[in-house]
Structure 1
């Protein structure tokens, strides 16, 4: 019977040691997951800060007429999409989506340079008409954009 107790004690001790080993391994894994999650959150925050900074820069350039209006609207729409705002948060910037929708058929970059001059002129005229049609809305939205995203940027910096 004594042998049974020795064997049972030995098995219990082995199980305790193994449980301790697993517990240490679990703690290391949780610490690693926390580090990874923190690094991911930091990287995501940096990306969002960069997007917000770009939005402010483009909006300011549009206010100072250093950026073509249509191009600015398209760029702002793409950047605002990256922020994944709710419908309500996005509402003040709907004009960028309207302009984007009206101009998405117009070729850009290499495709633009490959167009014949006549086609370029037609698209340029279309863009000018869109700009004239929405001039007041765009100007108002740009002013709101600068104001709103400056505040967002300042909040991000203070965190």
Structure 2
């Protein structure tokens, strides 16, 4: 309740009749204390407080697919998260089942041979050697049975990120 609400409460007597009427007609926008103070001021000016002006407003309808005014819809979030995981696992199984590991039959020189690695280091130093190994490691993620594991772990990461984002309560946002 801090300084802003107290200053608002002290300003209520200075509001015009139209401003007070608007405040009482839209109770959802204001705190309970402000509504009670506005009703008291409205009565002191000789007016009658409208029926239901101080009643609790009805809960807003559930409108969003994943969240609404009451918070996240956990049943739907679980369904979407499970679907992401199931699709990723199924895709990984299919990829693993049909994966073909082939070696390049006409490769001039093995990229892991001592001679090749020595040439890489001589031409570009340790940075070139490291960059080549990182490139080879990344490229190997997208071939053969390793692709199935890559797809599975990507789907786990996507499902986890979706879960975290979808279940956030929205602290720090303006309502």
TM-score using structure 2 length:
0.29
Answer with 1 or 2: which has the greater Rg. Answer: 2
More helix per residue: 1 or 2?
A: 1
TM-score using structure 1 length:
0.31
Higher RCO structure, 1 or 2 (CA under 8 Å, sep 6+): 1
